[in-house]
A and B are shown apart, each in its own frame.
Chain A
C-alpha cells in the first residue's frame, strides 16, 4: 500500500519536474500536465468521461446489447420502455436500447473518420498556403472561401445526393464541409511563425518545405487544430444526424441515431420514445464533445479562448 503510494508520488514528481532529463520525459510530462488540468475542470472532465463511455459502449455493443439490433419481432412492435426492453421497441419490434448502442458505433465511426480525413487536409492546405504565400496562398484561400460560402449541411446534402447513399459517402460529404475552417486556422498559425528565426535557420540549412512543415510548423499548429477538431466533432455529429434524419447517409437497417429519430416521427403520438431517446443520445454526445473541446482550448490554446 505505502510502497505503491511512494511509486505514484515518485512518478508524479518525475512527470512534473522542471529539469527534464530526456525528451521522452518532457513529452510525457506535458501530457500529464494536460491531464491534471483536465481533472481540475469538472465540465471538461465530464465531457471526456462521456466521450470515453461512448467509445466503450461502441466497442462493447455486441457484448452488452441484450438483443440483435436488427432482429424484428412484429408481435412486440411499439412496446413502451419496460424491464425487458429498457428503451422500448420500434415499429418492427426491434429493441431500441440495442439499436442506440449500435448507433453509437455508427456515430463514432463517422465522426472519427471525418476527423482523421479533415485534420491533415486542413493542415496541409492552410500551412502550405501560409508558408509559401504568393499566388499559392491566393488560389488555395479562394478555394477555401468558396467552400466556406455554403452552409455546411447544405453542401453535405448536395454531395451526398451526388455520391449516393451510404456511410462512406456521408463521410466524404461531411469532410468536404469541415476542412475549410481548419485550413484557415492552420494558415493563421503558420503566418505567425513563418519568419521566426528558427524557421529561417532551418531554411538556410537547406531544409525542404516538407521538412519545415512537418518538423517546425506542425508542432505550432497542433494544439489549436486539436481543439478545433474536437469542437468540430460536435457539429460533425449534428450534420451526420441531420443527413440521417433526411434519409441520406447511412441506410437502413443499420442503426443510426438521426435516422432512428426520423422514423420515430411517424409514430410520435403512440411511441414518444422512438424519437426522444436517439435524439437525447445525439444531444448528450455532441454536448460532451463541446465541453471537452472548450476545456482543451483553455488548456492547450489559451490565446484563442
Chain B
C-alpha cells in the first residue's frame, strides 16, 4: 500500500518534470527564433550601420576600422553568435539619436507602456467579460445586439484614427482632456518611486495633485486601447459562455431550481475562467500592438513611441531592441497564462 502510493507519487513527479522540460525546450526554441528574426531583420536593413555611426564624410580607413570593430568582416554565423552573446549580456547597442545605451532607454520607456496597457486591459476585461457573459445569457436580446455592434465596430476601428478624433473633439474643441504626454509639465519629476508607475508612486508619496494629473493624462488613451480589447474579450467570453450554457449540467442545475445567478456565475462561469485567462493574455499581447499607434497619437513617452520615432530616423538598434522586448513580453505573458492554466484547471495537472 505504502510503496504503491510512493510509486504513484514518483511517477507523477517524473511526469511533471518531463512536462516542465518540454515547456522549457519550447520556450528556449521560441526565444531562439525571436533572436533569429531580429538578427535577420537587422542584417536586411538597407542603411549601412557603419555610415550611420561615423557619418558619410569619414575617410575609407576609418570606415574599414569601424567595419571591423562592428565585426561585419566576420562570417554571418559568427556575427549571430556575437549578437546572441550581446543580447544575453543585456547589450543591445547604442541609439544614435538619444546617444544612450538602448537598454537604458528601454528601462525608461517600458514602465510608461506597462502602466498604459495594464489600465487598458483592466478596462477592457472589466467591461468586456461581463458584457459578453450577459450577452450570452440573454442571447438575442437588445443587450446581445449592443454587444455584437460594440464588438464588430471595435474589431474594425483603426485605433490611431479614433485617437486622433478624440483629440480633436475632447482636446481641441471641448478642452476636457490634456493634449498628450504622461503628466503636466509643472508636476513632472515630483515623484520618482519604486514602481515607476506614476499612479502608484504618487499614491505612495501622497502627492494627490500628481496622481490626478497623471490619471487625467492616462485615462483617454487607456480607454481607447481598452475599447479595442473589450471588443475582442466580450465576443470571446460570449462564445465560451454559450458553449457552457448548452451543457447538460446547466440544464440539471436549472431543473433543480437553482436561481439563474447561481447557475451562471457559480457553475458556468467557473468553467470558463481558464479560457478567459488565455484570451486576456492574448488581448494583452494585442494591446502592445495598439500602444505603438496610440502612443504615437497621444505623445505617450513609452515603448511604442520610442519604436516609431527610432524607425523614423532609421535608428535600428532601438528598433530591434524594442521589437525584441515586445516579443519577449508576449512570450512571458503566454508562459504565465500557461502556468496559471495548469494551476487553476485540475484536468491539466
Q: Do A and B bind each other?
A: yes
Interface residues of A (CB under 8 A from B): 142-143, 145-146, 149-155, 157-159, 161-164, 234, 238, 241-242, 245-248, 258, 261-262, 265, 268-269, 272, 275-276, 279, 282-283, 286-287, 289-291, 294
B135 at the interface (CB under 8 A from A): no
Instruction: Enumerate B274-326 residues with CB–CB distance to A below 8 Å.
Output: 285-286, 288-289, 292-293, 296-297, 307-308, 311-312, 314, 316, 319-320, 323, 326
Q: Is B82 an interface residue (CB 8 A)?
A: no
Residue pairs across A and B with Cβ atoms less than 8 A apart, 5 shown, are: A154-B292, A265-B297, A276-B165, A282-B161, A283-B156
Number of cross-chain contacts by CB at 8 Å: 141
Choose the segment among B29-37, B119-127, B136-144, B245-253 that binds chain A (4+ C-beta atoms closer than 8 Å).
B29-37
Interface of A: prevailing SS: helix
Assess whether B334 is interfacial by the CB under 8 Å rule: yes
What's the minimum C-beta distance from B41 to chain A, rounded to whole angstroms?
Answer: 4
Q: Assess the B41–A154 pair: CB atoms within 8 A.
A: no
With the chains together, A265 CA to B311 CA distance in Å?
A: 19
A154 touches B288 (CB 8 A): yes
- Chain B: number of interface residues, binned into ranges: 35 or more
- Chain B residue with the shortest CB-CB distance to A150: B327
Query: Which among B46, B157, B312, B320 is the interface contact of A158 at CB below 8 angstroms?
Result: B320
Decide: A268 near B172, CB < 8 A? Known: A146-B30, A149-B334. Answer: yes
| Nearest B residue (CB) for A268 | B168
Contact yes or no, B155 A258, CB < 8 A: no
Sort A-B residue pairs by CB-CB distance and give the 4 closest, nearest first: A146-B33, A279-B161, A151-B289, A162-B44
Q: Is the CB of B153 within 8 A of A287?
A: yes
Residues of A within 8 A of B41 (CB): 158-159, 161-162
A117 to chain B, nearest CB (A): 18
Q: Does B38 interact with chain A (Cβ within 8 Å)?
A: yes
The smallest beta-carbon distance between A273 and chain B, in angstroms, is 11
Are the CB atoms of A279 and B44 closer together than 8 Å? Answer: no
**Roughly how many angstroms separate A109 CA and B159 CA in the complex, as a whole number?**
22
Kindly list chain A residues whose C-beta atoms are within 8 Å of the C-beta of B314: 161
Q: In the complex, what distance in Å separates the CA atom of A237 from the CA atom of B10?
A: 53
- Can you name the residue of chain A whose Cβ is closest to the Cβ of B330? A149
A275 to B160 CA separation, bound complex (whole angstroms): 10
Q: Quick check: B165 and A151 within 8 Å, CB to CB? A: no
* B152 on the A face (CB < 8 A): yes
- Name A157's contact: one of B40, B42, B156, B323 (CB within 8 Å): B323
Taken together as a complex, chains A and B put the C-alpha atoms of A294 and B45 apart, in Å, by 39
Instruction: State whether the Cβ of B66 lies closer than 8 Å to any Cβ in chain A.
Output: no
| Chain A residues in 8 Å Cβ range of B158 | 238, 241-242, 245, 258, 261, 279, 282-283, 286
- Known contacts A164-B46, A242-B293; decide if A142 and B33 are in contact (CB<8 Å): yes
A294 to B288, CA, bound (A): 26
Chain B residues within 8 Å of A234, by CB: 155-156
Which among B33, B161, B316 is the interface contact of A143 at CB below 8 angstroms? B33
Binary interface profile of B, 237-269, with partner A (CB < 8 Å = 1, else 0)? 000000000000000000000000000000000
Measured between beta carbons, the chain A residues less than 8 angstroms from B323 are: 150, 154-155, 157-158
Given contacts A161-B316, A247-B312, 17 further A-B contacts (CB under 8 A): A149-B327, A150-B323, A151-B326, A152-B289, A153-B293, A154-B289, A154-B323, A161-B319, A162-B45, A234-B156, A242-B293, A246-B293, A261-B160, A261-B161, A272-B168, A286-B157, A291-B152
Contact B311 A157 (CB under 8 A): yes
Which chain B residues border A276 with CB–CB below 8 Å?
165
Partner of A279, one of B34, B42, B164, B326: B164
B183-227 interface (Cβ within 8 A of A): none
Closest to A160 in B: B311
Cα–Cα, bound, A68→B117 (Å): 43
Q: A161-B316, A246-B296 are in contact. Are A150 and B326 (CB under 8 A)?
A: yes
What residues of B have a CB within 8 angstroms of the CB of A245 in the complex?
A: 158, 160, 293, 296
Interface string of B168-183 (1 = CB under 8 A from A): 1000100000000000
Instruction: Report B107 CB to chain A, min CB distance, Å.
Output: 19
- CA separation between A265 and B168, bound complex, in Å? 9
- Docked Cα-Cα span, A289 to B156, in Å, equals 9
Q: Of all chain A residues, which has the CB nearest B41?
A: A162
* Proximity bits, B37-59, A CB within 8 Å = 1, else 0: 11011101110000000000000
B44 lies within 8 A of A287 (CB):
no
Point out the residues of chain A lying under 8 angstroms from B42, CB to CB. Answer: 162
